[in-house]
Structure 1
Amino acid sequence: MDFTECYGDTVSGVAAAARSGCRKRVRRLLKRGCSVDCRDNRGWNALHEAAAAGSKECVQDILSAVGGRTRKESHTNEDCTFVLIFCPLCCVSDDKPHICLIEFTGLLTAAVQPRGCHAFVNSLTHEGESACYLAAQRGHLAVVQLLLKSHANINQLTNDLSCPLYAAVDGGHKEVVELLVRKEAEVNRTHTASCWTCLHQAVYKGHSEIVRILVNVCNLEAVDDHRISPLFVAAQYGQQECLEILVKAGANVNTQAADLATPLLIASQEGHQACVDFLLDHGADPNIACSTEWPQFPIHAAAEFGHIGILRRLTAVTDRACNRSNDMVSPLYVAVHGHQSKSVELLLREGYSPDAQDCTNILGLRSPLSVALCHTSIKPYSESVRLLIAAGATLSEEDWIYALSTDKTDLLQLILKHRWIPRPESLTRDCSVPHHQGKTVLKLQELRDLLCVALNQVHFAACWLPLLMEAGMEPSLLVQAHMLEQADTEVLNYLLEFVNWSTLSAPLKHILDRRQAEKTWEPRPHFGSIPFLYHMCRLQIRSVLGPDLLMTTNLVHQLPVPPSLHNFLKFRDIPDVSFPHSPPSPLSNRIQGYRSTHQHIYVL
């Protein structure tokens, strides 16, 4: 049944008149003897209608009609004069009226709990709403005052656990709230299924003037079913003025909910800059662990949701131990996971390490870069990947798979744009020079992982091999047995153009001879003879300068040779290889396959 609709054939005439606030019509109907307690399909009677409409006069007339047919008897004793008031609606039997009230020298005091009158003024709708509740909900101050004088239950709960005070708070009716508080309404009772108090609701709605009233009488640390305090609610919903009132009243700024979240964390998550600033200025601790699963701080929430202003403020006050400590999690992880490249950029600029710590045991994540790469689904790489690589994030074996186990070269080009392949003489030790020509130098382990993945991904060599050669990689590092056995003709011929094929070791020459005999490799004609002098010359220049300087700088232009030889010295005359285009399997499958089948090939 729809209790929000009142049908004309179920509502009484008195109730209809009261709803419209027509006092004359109400009086006329009452004189005719019409009932005031007839209910409609919502359980509303005439008093409910009058209270909801805010008609004080109609409420007075209806209450008078209920208690108007009274009989008074005056009595005097030694101490005082009193009047017994008999109410016919409170009869025990038809001929025995019940003593409802006693009047002492003009003061009306309840002697015996009234039955009929009291029951009528506190009658409830089907939703458990009293007339006092309906009036308070709508802010009808005069009606509430009148009903309270008529002994309305100030703390009567509705079916959904609301009450007149909670309804007035929810509606922002300050004067009604003041009246109910003054009349000692219960202020700390919990309401709604979430166990909110009136103070929770006032803060949630942002009724700051009502909050000023309630903080003087309410428990500031009252918590709901999630152990959330009113101050936490203010921070969560950005109610700055209410937050300031609560803090000044003495509320705890570091209160924690059931999941250990603090007001500072929730304000940082929701992006309420003013609340974050106020909390930090008034003692909120940014280094309280706010999660039962891992030590999450407010800075993590700001980073994950991209609230840059808040993140900037928190980087200045958060303990940097979260940057690299093994038992913590760098905010870079959540920034990357939340696809918040601006957060990533700010954190890197503020000195957070692009490598962070290995969080495999905590989150199942190895590094921020691995998170960024595994989230790369549509684009070749995300902005977070670019930022991390540019900042010098260490490239692991798995990271190189993303760059080499594909026919797309975007990621490898990005890496080579920011990373410098070191000279051969540096390969036996870790590079001591962190940067070269504005690029971060690949560490020894990074280069080892690169070569290991490359030699296990020969199928894609047509894509990555030219890029590595142009980036100055020493080709002898790739002239390995596995490469010579697995590479197709184009790739193998391309690689041999960068070396003196006549000086290959006997085992490698044996592989080439066998493949030629099996007709799995067709060498270029000049591979059968000693290299030409001009090829030997450029190999010598490459050796003297180093492949890195020769291939990636303009140093060759300073050599005393004709300009027409510049491209030749850079091996630009070697034709590119084409990739045999077969649709590659999904990257996740290739990574899984690599993990299960790859061989660790050490060439350094």
Structure 2
Amino acid sequence: MDFTECYEDTCSAVALAARQGDGRRVQKLLRRGYSVDVKDNRGWNALHEAAASGSAQCVRLLLDAAASSEDYVNSLTHNSETPLYFAAKNGHIRAANRLLKGGADINKMSNDLSCPLFAAVDGGHKEIVELLVSKGAEVNGTHSTSGWSCLHQAVYKGHTEIVKFLVSVCSLEAVDDYGITPLFVAAQYGRHECLEVLANTGANVDCQAKDLATPLFIAAQEGHLSCVELLLAYKADPNLYCNEDQWQLPIHAAAQFCRLSILEKLISVTSRDCDQGKGKVSPVYLAVLSGQADSLRPLLREGYSPNAQSCRQFGYCCPLDMALWCNSWNLDNECHQSREITQMLLAARAHVTMPTYVFALQGHVPEHLPLILEHAGLPKEDHLEELVQAAVKEVPSAPFWLPLLLKAGLDPTLLLHQKMFEEAETRVLNFLLEFINWKTLPSTMLQILSRRQAKGTWTPQKHFESVPALTHLCRLAVRAAVGSDALSKSSFVQQLPVPTLLQDYLQFNDISSAYTYTPA
């Protein structure tokens, strides 16, 4: 049986008349001896029906007819709801008044921890709220499974006029089971007017829940701009950390959830200590982690560093490291923003570490290495040799990284490694040989090539049998004189005293255009 829905065959004649507010019929039935206390499948009797429908006349008649009006006025449904509860819930002030005069228990709790006052607040019935409070209703009791007070509920429902009344009689700092105050609820659900009433009355704008979240933090997270502005106007602290690791601020929430208008507000008032401070986390990380390029843009524009502190909380050494790793596992529809984030960090001169170069060499996301080389170029000095060693270890990916590294200005002679010559596929090896004088290779390399050719694992280009053309030898000489790095830059080549037609040739573009590789 459903104990929330009334079945017609379980409702008494008196209760049905009371539900319809038919006082004359109720009176007639009572004179004929009908009982006032027959309950339906929900545990409702005629008085519950009269209170719920708001018939003060029926309430009076039923109370007068009851054998014990004090017991009858507080009769309970299966959910422990009283007639006063229903009158308050539905906003029937005359019926509520009559029940109170009859001795109704003003604070009786239902099974779901509600009470007449809480029900009236929930329904937005201000007159009933004022009546119940004037008659001694408990205003700071806890209700609902999370322990909300009536003020919590009024704020949650956005009943501003009721909030204005309750702030004069309720505790402003009442907390639920999570340590949340009514003002926090207002910030969380965007109840701007209620928030203003509470703040103006003196409620603590920097109250913290058990997880240390503040009203400003939750308003930023939920995107309630007007609440953020109001909290800041009432001097809420944007630098109050909101978790035990001492790093999460409202600006982090705004960046993570791309609340751009709020982010702009918070950038100007948040201490920059979080940007690169030891043990803290820059909001740049949150923008990157959540794939919010639009959040990252204003942060970088306003001076937040692309080279934030190492982030032990997320396990990344820098934002670029995070961006590249996140990019490698993001879903297709998220990749565009992740690539844009990577590009933005590089354009802002993010430091590229050697592990980042090595990861990019593997070609999991093909756009990584070209972006890094475009913005950061090749590593310098000792780190360049480290990059070469890492590249040689990634010979299976050489079809991807070899053309890119050479185009960026890597000296091809640095790749004359035994492993490269032994393991590279024919097309890769021939491509590399095109950038050097294949007739002056070290004897060990020549022996490897000869052995592979005999086994059929390498097929040389026909012109490798001959001495390189004079023009090729000349551009090798030019490269030896100016360096591979300089020769890779068109701006440098254009200044050389050579015909324009030869500039592409000096940069080996004829070779690059003949070899097209994709990641393995």
Structure 1 length normalisation: TM-score?
0.80
1:130-529 aligned within 5 A: 130-360=82-312, 362-376=313-327, 377=329, 378-379=331-332, 382-406=339-363, 409-421=366-378, 427-428=380-381, 445=383, 447-505=384-442, 507-509=444-446, 511-512=448-449, 515-516=452-453, 520-527=457-464
CA distance in structure 1 between the aligned counterparts of 2:423 and 2:353, rounded to whole angstroms: 24
Task: Look up the SS of the partner of 1:21 in the other structure.
Answer: coil
Deviation of 1:326 (Å): 2.6
Distance 2:386 2:48 in 1: 80
Q: 2:502 aligns with which of 548, 553, 565?
A: 565
SS of the residue 1:300 aligns to: helix
What pairs up with 1:523-542 in 2 under 5 angstroms? 523-527=460-464, 530-542=467-479
Given the alignment of the two structures, is residue 552 of structure 1 paired with residue 489 of structure 2, yes or no? Answer: yes
How far residue 405 of structure 1 moved from its aligned partner, in angstroms, is: 1.3
Letter in 2 for 1:28: K
Please say if residues 339 and 367 of structure 2, whose CA atoms lie closer than 8 Å, have aligned partners that are also in contact: no
How many Å apart are 1:306 and its aligned residue?
0.8
SS of the residue corresponding to residue 283 of structure 1 reads coil
Q: Hey, what does 1:54 align to over in structure 2?
A: 54
Query: How many angstroms apart in 2 are the aligned matches of 1:10 and 1:140?
Result: 25
Partner Cα distance (1:329, 1:408) in 2: 26
**SS of match in other structure, 1:14:** helix
Shift of 1:225: 0.7
* Structure number having the greater helix percentage: 2
Q: Going by fraction, where is strand more abundant, 1 or 2?
A: 1
Going from structure 1 to structure 2, the CA distance change for 1:50 and 1:400 (only over 3 Å counts) comes to same
Give how far 1:563 is off: 3.9
2:153 maps to amino acid = Q
2:4 match: secondary structure: coil
Looking at structure 1, the residues matched to 416 and 386 of structure 2 have their Cα atoms a distance apart, in angstroms, of: 16
Unaligned runs of 5+ in 2: none
8 Å Cα contact 2:363-2:369 kept in structure 1: no
Are residues 1:23 and 2:23 paired? Answer: yes
Show the 5 A alignment for 1:64-143. 64-66=64-66, 89=67, 116-143=68-95
- 2:32 alignment partner in structure 1: 32
Q: Name the CA distance, whole Å, in 2 between partners of 1:363 and 1:403.
A: 20
Query: C-alpha offsets along residues 577-598 of structure 1, whole Å, 9 cap, x if unaligned?
Result: 45598xx5xxxxxxxxxxxxxx
Cα distance between partner residues in 2 of 1:477 and 1:251? 69
> What SS does the aligned partner of 1:255 have?
coil
Distance in 2, matches of 1:580 and 1:257, equals: 53
SS at match of 1:493: helix
- Separation in 1, partners of 2:386, 2:120: 68
Once the 2 structures are TM-superposed, how far is the Cα of residue 522 of structure 1 from its aligned partner? 3.9
AA partner of residue 418 (structure 1): H
Which residue identity does 1:122 align to in structure 2?
N
Distance 1:365 1:555 in 2: 37
The CA deviation at 1:505 is 4.6
Superposed displacement of residue 336, structure 1 = 1.5
Q: Distance in 1 between matches of 2:120 and 2:376?
A: 66
Q: Which amino acid aligns with 1:207?
A: H
Q: Distance in 1 between matches of 2:277 and 2:386?
A: 25
Q: Verify the 8 A CA contact 2:400 2:518 in the aligned structure 1.
A: no
1:484 touches 1:512 (CA, 8 Å); kept in 2? yes
Mapped contact 2:343–2:371 kept (Cα < 8 A): yes
**The residue matched to 1:15 in structure 2 has which SS?**
helix
SS at match of 2:511: coil
Local SS of the residue matching 1:123:
coil
Report the AA paired with residue 137 of structure 2: A
Unaligned ranges ≥5, structure 1: 67-88, 90-115, 429-443, 585-604
For 1:49, give the aligned amino acid: E
- Tell which deviates more after alignment, 390-399 or 294-303: 390-399
Give the distance between the partners of 1:229 and 1:196, measured in 2 at CA.
9
In structure 2, C-alpha distance between the alignment counterparts of 1:402 and 1:384, rounded to whole Å: 17
Deviation at 1:142, TM superposition (A): 1.1
How far off its partner does 1:332 sit? 1.7
State the Cα distance separating 1:448 from its structure 2 match.
4.9
- The alpha carbon displacement at 1:511 in A equals 4.5
**Percentage of matched positions with identical amino acids:** 53
Q: Aligned residue for 2:2?
A: 2
Confirm or deny: 8 A CA contact 2:252 2:286 kept in the other structure: yes
Q: 1:491 to 1:249 in 2, by over 3 A?
A: same
Calculate the TM-score normalised by the size of structure 2: 0.92
Q: In the alignment, residue 324 of structure 1 is paired with which amino acid?
A: Q
Alpha-carbon shift at residue 529 of structure 1 (Å) = 5.3
CA 1:564/1:24 → structure 2, altered by over 3 Å: closer, same or farther?
Answer: same
Query: How much has 1:517 moved relative to structure 2?
Result: 5.7
1:150-191 Cα deviation digits (max 9, x unpaired): 111111111111111000000000111111111121000101
Query: In structure 2, how many angstroms separate the alpha carbons of the residues matched to 1:356 and 1:554?
Result: 33
Deviates more, 1:571-580 or 1:351-360: 571-580
Q: Give the conservation status (yes or no) of the 8 Å contact 1:460–1:579.
A: no
Counterpart CA distance in 1 for 2:402 and 2:212 is: 52
Shift of 1:201: 0.4
The 8 Å contact of residues 462 and 577 in structure 1, kept in 2 or not, is answered as no
Which one is further off, 551-560 or 121-130? 551-560
Q: Given the superposition, is the C-alpha separation of residues 385 and 408 from structure 1 closer, same or farther in structure 2, using an over 3 Å criterion?
A: closer
Call closer, same or farther: CA 1:532–1:390 in 2, change over 3 Å.
Answer: same
* Contact 2:352-2:376 within 8 A present in 1 as well: no
Q: Residues 297 and 580 from structure 1, CA distance in 2 versus in 1: closer, same or farther, beyond 3 angstroms?
A: closer
Deviations 1:318-362 (A, max 9, x none): 2212111231111122222212111122222222222212123x3
Q: Does the CA contact (< 8 Å) of 1:400 and 1:449 recur in 2?
A: no
User: The residue matched to 2:280 in structure 1 has which SS?
Assistant: coil
> How far off its partner does 1:470 sit?
1.9
SS at match of 1:221: coil
The AA in structure 2 aligned to 1:371 is M
SS in 2 for 1:574: helix
CA gap of 1:15–1:409, structure 2 versus 1, over 3 A, is closer
Instruction: Please report the RMSD computed on the Cα atoms of aligned residues, expressed in angstroms.
Output: 2.4
Q: Which residue in 2 is equivalent to 1:595?
A: none
8 Å CA contact retained: 2:192, 2:226: yes
Give the AA of the match of 1:348. L
Q: How many angstroms does 1:407 deviate by?
A: 7.6
